[in-house]
Copies of this chain bind each other. A is one copy, B any other.
């Protein structure tokens, strides 16, 4: 049954191009309103307080959503993704050199991407979905890495792992475990299910 009410407006509180692309490809109507929170400070405080990584990524996604003003009949989507490798948490690399160092560290090793997507809407409890994916980086050659960095360059600095798995980043991996959309940074299927429950998209 279709609700008589207008569906709530969907706002994506993220500057991530791939998150917007995932929603657009699925035919979802939404607007983008990137929000800014002091991620470094939240991470540092949260880890000091003993928050586990899934709790931290959920907190970051929620804070990003909460940083926007929430109107009536609006849904705000917040999302975040953290890379965990060898017990440490990594941010986006700040330079191509840092990306190179990161990739050399992770070469031949497994790392995890922990993601959260959250929804805020008046009259509803906050909703969050946490995903964990495991990626085994292959033992690529130095020649490969040189080519890869020369081709990707600054594009790498927008991704926590220094790779776009939907593009050339796939060349870094032999095997991944987990949902593709979660690797990209937005767990699409659970998000769609929740948007349907709220009549924000046609069920």
Residues of A within 8 A of B (CB): 1-2, 25-27, 138, 140-141, 143-144, 147, 151, 166-168, 170-171, 173-176, 179-181, 188-189, 192-193, 201-203
Q: How many copies does the complex hold?
A: 2
Kindly list chain B residues whose C-beta atoms are within 8 Å of the C-beta of A138: 193
For A1, the chain B residues whose CB sits under 8 A away are 141
16 contacts between A and B (CB under 8 A): A1-B141, A25-B167, A26-B167, A27-B168, A138-B193, A144-B202, A144-B203, A170-B181, A171-B192, A171-B201, A173-B189, A174-B193, A175-B189, A176-B189, A180-B180, A180-B181
B141 touches A203 (CB 8 A): yes
Q: How far does the alpha carbon of A27 sit from the alpha carbon of B180 in the complex, in Å? A: 19
Q: Min CB distance, A159 to chain B, in Å? A: 15
Which residue of B is nearest A2, CB measured? B143
